[in-house]
Amino acid sequence: MRILLAEDNDANRLIARSILERDGHSVVSTVDGKSALKACTTAHYDAVLLDIMMPGMDGLKTLRRIKALKNANSKVPIFALTAFCSPADQTRYRMAGFNGILPKPLRSGQFDRLVLLYSAGDVPPPAILPAKLVTAFDESPLLDDRVIAQLNSIEDKVALKTVEQRFWDGVKASLETIEQDRHLVLQGDISAITRFRGAVHAIKGSTATIGLARASHIAKSLQNAPPGDTPKLLQLLCACLAGSRTPLQDALHAPPELLIGSR
């Protein structure tokens, strides 16, 4: 299929495009809703994938604008690509007009299965694990081997290195926001809580995309934790991120001696 992918996050966009292309599809990628809308006025696609949380024109608004076009793209299936996959979120997306939901990070074969279900007129919600506050985070693997394998299958190693650096830059920015709002959050400030949860959500999504399974697990617990649990979970998250940097680098990049030997 010829797919239009709209995703503002560099890592998510690279990984989703790579997976879709390995599954046999042709992908045109854009960085925001405005670009996706413009692309729908100049070429035809068999399906459109829209990230929900995009700056400027989000996925829901982009969906409405594409559906309002007087061309063939207004009739193609449009799927939400999102980390917000609670039952309430799924209901909201379907009521907005999305033809299905793909949870992040995208896995090989997920799109094809959703298209088959859509074609058969039967699109169930994606499987969501029950939410549990797990205190024994050490039982979670540090790295998600499946995600690491998908990343290592990307042929453009320079792009992969850039994605890795931008991931850490994004984590740093999110942690700075968390630190600025931490005391206000404990005081119950609504605006601070909203910013805090947004920053934690960004870390939860980006760590899952880059393959840091344990850090994503902790961030998921931190995002909706009661105030009394917040300091300890934040401390655990920072320690996990610090301890994950070298293992992630080792997993994504071959040792120098192997590189020399392969030349």
Same domain for 74 and 173 = no
Task: Tell me if 209 is assigned to some domain.
Answer: yes
Same domain for 156 and 113 = no
DSSP 3-state of 218: helix
List the one residue out of 45, 125, 130 whose CA is nearest residue 80: 125
| Domain endpoint, select from 63, 86, 119 | 119
* Model pLDDT, residue 259: 35
Task: Tell me if 124 is assigned to some domain.
Answer: no
Task: Tell me if 53 is assigned to some domain.
Answer: yes
Task: Tell me if 125 is assigned to some domain.
Answer: no
Task: Tell me if 168 is assigned to some domain.
Answer: yes
* Model pLDDT, residue 56: 84
**Residue ranges in the chain whose pLDDT is less than 50:** 126-135, 254-263
CA 260/CA 263 separation, integer angstroms:
6
Same domain for 149 and 90 = no
Task: Tell me if 152 is assigned to some domain.
Answer: yes
* Model pLDDT, residue 22: 92
Same domain for 156 and 59 = no
Same domain for 141 and 64 = no
Same domain for 91 and 146 = no
* Model pLDDT, residue 171: 92
* Model pLDDT, residue 156: 85
CATH of the domain at 96: 3.40.50.2300
Which residue range is the domain that position 70 belongs to? Answer: 2-119
Same domain for 208 and 164 = yes
| Domain endpoint, select from 119, 149, 176 | 119
Q: Give strand pairing partners of 48.
A: 4, 78
| Domain endpoint, select from 92, 119, 146 | 119
Same domain for 114 and 142 = no
Helices assigned H by DSSP within the chain: 10-22, 33-39, 59-67, 87-96, 110-119, 145-152, 157-186, 190-210, 213-223, 230-252, 256-262
* Model pLDDT, residue 255: 47
Same domain for 166 and 94 = no
List the one residue out of 233, 61, 203 whose CA is nearest residue 135: 233
Task: Tell me if 127 is assigned to some domain.
Answer: no
CATH of the domain at 181: 1.20.120
Same domain for 152 and 65 = no
Q: What percent of the chain has pLDDT over 70?
A: 87
pLDDT single digits (tens) 137-191: 766 789 998 899 888 888 888 888 888 999 999 999 999 988 888 777 766 677 7
Same domain for 67 and 96 = yes
pLDDT single digits (tens) 20-32: 999 999 999 999 9
Structurally, how many domains does the chain consist of?
A: 2
